[in-house]
Amino acid sequence: MRVGNRGELKRQRKTRIAILLAVIGLGACGTSSVNNTSFSNDEALSKAMAQSADATLIVDCLLPGKIKKMGSAMTYLTPRRPVKTSSQNCEIRGGEYVAYDRANYKTALRVWQPMAEQGDKVAQTYVGAIYEKGLGVSPDYTEAAVWYTKAAEQGYSRAQYALGYLYEMGQGVEKDPQEAFRWYRLAAGLTQEDIRLAHVELSDQERKKLEEATAAEEALLKKVEQQLVLKQQELNNVDLKIDSAKINLNKHQLRLSDLAEKKRVALASYEREAAPSLLKWREKASQLEAEVKNRKQALVVALAELQQKQRLLKEKETQLSTSIRSFEKKKGQLQEEKQQLSMKRAQVVAVPNSANAVLVVEIDNQLKQKERQLSDIDSKLDKQNSLLQNRGQELSVLLSAVADKKQQQQNELNSLAKKSAEIKTQQELLAKKRVSIEQQWAAERAQHITKLKNQTQLISVLEKQQRNNSEKLAYLNRAQNRQQLALLAPKIELIDPDMPIMRSITTTAPVFKIREDIKQKVIVGKVISENDLLMVAMNEQPIEINSQGVFKATVDIPKEGMLVDIVAVDIGGNRSGLKFVLSPKQNMRLSNGVNEKDIIASPVSDVISQVEFGDYYGLLIGNNDYKHMPELITPIKDVEATAKILKEKYGFKETIVLKNATRYDILTAMNLLRKKLTNKDNLVIYYAGHGEIDRVNMTGQWLPVDAEVENTANWISNSSLTELINAIAAKHVLVVADSCYSGILTRSALTQVAASQSDQARLTWFRKMAKKRARLVLSSGGVAPVLDEGGGDHSLFSRAFLDALENNQGVLEGQRLFRSVSAAVAIAADRYKVEQVPEYAPIRHAGHESGDFFLVPVI
């Protein structure tokens, strides 16, 4: 998504969403918003809206065979036919297909391989694409190259272009720029004469500089030879180190085996020696436990008996005490009665008479009886007290016996506990001895395992170094050929002015004519290097490059013109150079494509009357108001302005503008174009809106306004878009995406005309390219944030795009449009301190054959 304002640029750079469109970069990140006019009042739109959007997606369809009749007696069914069409159309025609989101490597091959094996070049190309894309498995570039070659040798331009790409990238075949160039040329239908490079004879001084450069490259060849010797020595040393490391690895492996055997022997010895003792101590422990248990039970029984006796003694003692109290009470009563009788006798004796004499005798008898009773009670009391004293002594003896019994049992238990502790200690000592043995061997084993891992890692590092050295050695061997020396050096690409393809050092250099009143020229380019760059210089003056390798420098142009010499050197000492001449000359046509007014364009009338460019259509999609995502600022204004200039200046027959489009809107619109456009038409698709990368399968996605962040249901995958674009019959399709990240730029894959070609040569080139099927993408490019502002009411990229369209006065090739936009964006991005480099390339697997996209102003 774009950065909303400049002040938040640094923070937004960390959260920028990137998207990859198609394989090379059909991308859309946060861009601008769009008009939402109708499809030119086309009634087909309202009918299409009634169908499911998914039904418009392209699938591999296997149609049923046709019923044919031969003569009057024979009827037969032809083999099933594979086609690429919408799932809806496949259903209507009775075909068999796998849903677009379920298709994979096997289902796709099942449709196309039978026809490919029969020699059908179209099917062979599709099979090659299936292997190249992978479709759920790792790509098989080697197999892809085999099938592309079969179709390319039959003259099929799509296969020729695809094969050229594999040779350019070194995928499945050995990297060979010359072979790639040959296949690209065949795909474009161009002869060698059609692609002559611009050149001009140099002065003696300039030739001397080139001779010095040649001498420098010869010195570089010697350096390569020296590097070969050093790399061979390094490789030999690494081999020796690997052998030594493997010997050490074997030693540690043997040591580990020895340790395992020693551990087994030590544990076996331990078991033999310690097991009997351990068994003996365990038996003793069991016996002691049983004895302790029995002793405790006996103690409980004895204590219970003693307690029972103690209870009985206490009961007897209580009974005796009760009897004594009863006797004492009775004794007291007798004494009282005796005293009363004594008092009564005294009273009777005091009155002597015969009656009283009898009463005295009777009282005396009663007193004697009381005396006897008291004597008897005293005797019983003595006996009871004696018994009570005896019971007390018995109780004391019993209590003493209980205490002694308890103490005896406790002593025995303590003794047993001591023996149990001794047994436990012996068991722990034996267990510790075993643990000690295991720990000892485990520590030594861990030490050797660590050494083993270190040796394994060392061998892995050394083997990787060996592979790298071997690859470097092979690479340096190839580099000894001067024709391939440039492969070692950084690659310099000019963005402004355009540099024709140069494959060798010659005594000529391309010339770029500019108006005489232009005194300064901004040179914009890019350096691509696998190694870190040591220096980039222009005319012996160092120039700065950003992290993406883009540089920008201004040169003063004298009246007589000047030679511009750009040199790039990496840290490995690899050097590359690029030379061209800036020559002031009035009214001279150039092909540098910048949007400055220092370049004179070709008159439209010279070309349009002699070349059939066809009708032009535009689909402009702009999304501002997202339901579940941050809103964008400029997209609608961007596409409104683009639609206006395409309609008014370039005479587009129809412009379809979607504003705040849903997934349904976008897919339906593209399906209508698929049905409507012919192979004589041209189509521009402009997308401005949010984009995302699906983290599950790492594919780029367009995000309509109804898309949700964590739900991919309403996302539109780049593979679906690529298939839709491939299915559209239009001969030329240009996708313009103001995006964060658009992928790898393959400039060499784009056929272009040299700057100094004659009018007739350019006319011939236009005629040939106008007939070729082209599928291209122009994006704001790079992995850095894309400014949503910076161009007034438009994004930085959109402003440059609109300026290029407005300032153009001739037939505008996509290459020149790209250079104009990229130069303006590079300059503006530098002003805003962001890294943004537009990119232009064919859309992989969308049916690109060759050529370019052309925009023709209305005469």
* d(C-alpha 664, C-alpha 679), whole Å: 26
Lowest average pLDDT, out of 184-188, 380-384, 507-511, goes to 507-511
Most confident of 34-43, 452-461, 581-590: 452-461
**Sorting pLDDT into bands at 50, 70 and 90, what band is 283?**
confident
pTM for the structure as a whole:
0.53
**Sorting pLDDT into bands at 50, 70 and 90, what band is 52?**
low
* d(C-alpha 856, C-alpha 859), whole Å: 9
Over residues 164-173, the mean pLDDT reads 89
Q: Is the pLDDT of residue 329 over 90?
A: no
Q: Is the pLDDT of residue 673 over 70?
A: yes
Q: Give tens-digit pLDDT for 464-511.
A: 777 777 766 666 665 555 444 455 678 888 877 765 433 333 334 567
Over residues 103-131, the mean pLDDT reads 84
Helix (H) or strand (E) holding 583: strand 575-584
**Are 54 and 100 within 8 A, CB to CB?**
yes
Q: What single-letter amino acid sits at 273?
A: E
* d(C-alpha 242, C-alpha 595), whole Å: 59
Q: What is the pLDDT of residue 144?
A: 92
CATH top-level class for 62-195? Answer: mainly alpha
Q: Give tens-digit pLDDT for 587-610.
A: 343 333 333 333 334 455 566 667
Q: What single-letter amino acid sits at 483?
A: Q
Q: Is the pLDDT of residue 335 over 70?
A: yes
Lowest average pLDDT, out of 417-431, 496-510, 646-660, goes to 496-510
Please, which residues bridge with residue 620 across strands? 657, 686
Q: What single-letter amino acid sits at 611?
A: V
Neighbours of 478 (CB within 10 A): 16
Q: Give tens-digit pLDDT for 698-744.
A: 566 778 998 888 787 888 877 788 888 888 999 999 999 875 433 33
**Are 197 and 500 within 8 A, CB to CB?**
yes
Over residues 526-535, the mean pLDDT reads 84
Six-digit token string for 514: 């500019």
Peptide bond into 510 cis (omega under 30): no
Q: What is the pLDDT of residue 190?
A: 67
Q: What is the pLDDT of residue 165?
A: 87
Q: What is the pLDDT of residue 550?
A: 84
* d(C-alpha 168, C-alpha 177), whole Å: 5
**Sorting pLDDT into bands at 50, 70 and 90, what band is 576?**
confident
Residues spanned by CATH 3.40.50.1460 within the chain? Answer: 6-53+601-855
- Cα distances (Å, whole numbers) of residue 666 to 438, 655, 656: 70, 14, 11
- Cα distances (Å, whole numbers) of residue 499 to 76, 210, 585, 668: 59, 18, 19, 41
Q: What is the pLDDT of residue 327?
A: 75
**Sorting pLDDT into bands at 50, 70 and 90, what band is 173?**
very high
- State the angle between helix axes of 141-152 and 157-169 in degrees (0 to 180), rounded to the nearest 10: 140
Q: What is the pLDDT of residue 70?
A: 73
Residue 767 or residue 695, greater confidence: 767
Residues spanned by CATH 2.60.40.10 within the chain? Answer: 200-205+489-584
* Local structure of residue 609 (DSSP, 8 states): T
CB-hemisphere CA count at 13 Å for 194?
18
Residues spanned by CATH 1.25.40.10 within the chain? Answer: 62-195
- Annotate 378-405 with b (16+ C-beta within 10 A) or e (fewer): eebbeebeebbeebeebbeebeeebeeb
**Sorting pLDDT into bands at 50, 70 and 90, what band is 12?**
very low
* d(C-alpha 66, C-alpha 605), whole Å: 49
- Cα distances (Å, whole numbers) of residue 374 to 330, 337, 342, 363, 385: 9, 11, 15, 16, 16
- Annotate 644-672 with b (16+ C-beta within 10 A) or e (fewer): ebbbeebebebbbbbbbbbbbbbbbbbbb
Q: Is the pLDDT of residue 156 over 50?
A: yes
Q: Is the pLDDT of residue 42 over 60?
A: no
Q: What is the pLDDT of residue 739?
A: 52
Residue 256 or residue 185, greater confidence: 185
Over residues 220-239, the mean pLDDT reads 73
* d(C-alpha 709, C-alpha 524), whole Å: 38
Q: Is the pLDDT of residue 32 over 70?
A: no
Six-digit token string for 44: 């087909």
Residue 80 or residue 858, greater confidence: 858
Q: What is the pLDDT of residue 111?
A: 83
Please, which residues bridge with residue 541 across strands? 538
Q: Is the pLDDT of residue 681 over 80?
A: yes
Most confident of 266-280, 295-309, 345-359, 538-552: 538-552
Lowest average pLDDT, out of 218-227, 306-315, 535-544, goes to 218-227
Smallest CA-to-CA distance from 91 within 55, 50, 52 is with 55
Q: What is the pLDDT of residue 832?
A: 63
Q: Is the pLDDT of residue 675 over 80?
A: yes
Please, which residues bridge with residue 655 across strands? 618
Neighbours of 101 (CB within 10 A): 11
Residues spanned by CATH 1.10.287.2610 within the chain? Answer: 206-479
End-to-end CA distance of the chain: 38
Q: Give tens-digit pLDDT for 783-800.
A: 333 454 545 678 888 888
Lowest average pLDDT, out of 185-194, 651-660, 769-778, goes to 185-194
**Sorting pLDDT into bands at 50, 70 and 90, what band is 149?**
very high
pLDDT averaged over every residue in the chain: 74
Q: Is the pLDDT of residue 755 over 70?
A: no
Q: What is the pLDDT of residue 526?
A: 86
Smallest CA-to-CA distance from 693 within 725, 715, 664 is with 715
Q: What is the pLDDT of residue 191?
A: 58
Helices (H), 627-748: 635-648, 663-676, 718-727
Q: Give tens-digit pLDDT for 66-116.
A: 767 676 667 766 677 788 877 777 777 777 777 655 556 677 788 888 889
**Sorting pLDDT into bands at 50, 70 and 90, what band is 8?**
very low
Over residues 519-539, the mean pLDDT reads 86
**Sorting pLDDT into bands at 50, 70 and 90, what band is 518?**
confident
Tell me the fold of 6-53+601-855: Rossmann fold (3.40.50)
**Sorting pLDDT into bands at 50, 70 and 90, what band is 218?**
low
Over residues 511-522, the mean pLDDT reads 80
Q: Is the pLDDT of residue 34 over 90?
A: no
Six-digit token string for 440: 């000892």
Lowest average pLDDT, out of 203-217, 607-621, 654-668, goes to 203-217
* d(C-alpha 584, C-alpha 561), whole Å: 6
* Local structure of residue 627 (DSSP, 8 states): S
**Sorting pLDDT into bands at 50, 70 and 90, what band is 684?**
very high
* d(C-alpha 766, C-alpha 775), whole Å: 16
**Are 185 and 480 within 8 A, CB to CB?**
no
Q: Is the pLDDT of residue 246 over 70?
A: yes
User: What values do phi and psi take at 52, rounded to 5?
Assistant: -70, 140
Over residues 807-822, the mean pLDDT reads 86
Residue 177 or residue 695, greater confidence: 177
682-688/732-737 β-pairing: parallel
- Is the CA virtual torsion 790, 792, 797, 800 positive or negative? negative
Q: What is the pLDDT of residue 509?
A: 59
Residue 398 or residue 142, greater confidence: 142
Neighbours of 286 (CB within 10 A): 11
CATH for 206-479 is: 1.10.287.2610
* d(C-alpha 581, C-alpha 560), whole Å: 11
- Annotate 181-194 with b (16+ C-beta within 10 A) or e (fewer): bbbbbbbbbbeeeb
Please, which residues bridge with residue 621 across strands? 658, 687
**Are 336 and 373 within 8 A, CB to CB?**
no
Over residues 156-182, the mean pLDDT reads 88
CATH for 200-205+489-584 is: 2.60.40.10
**Sorting pLDDT into bands at 50, 70 and 90, what band is 61?**
confident
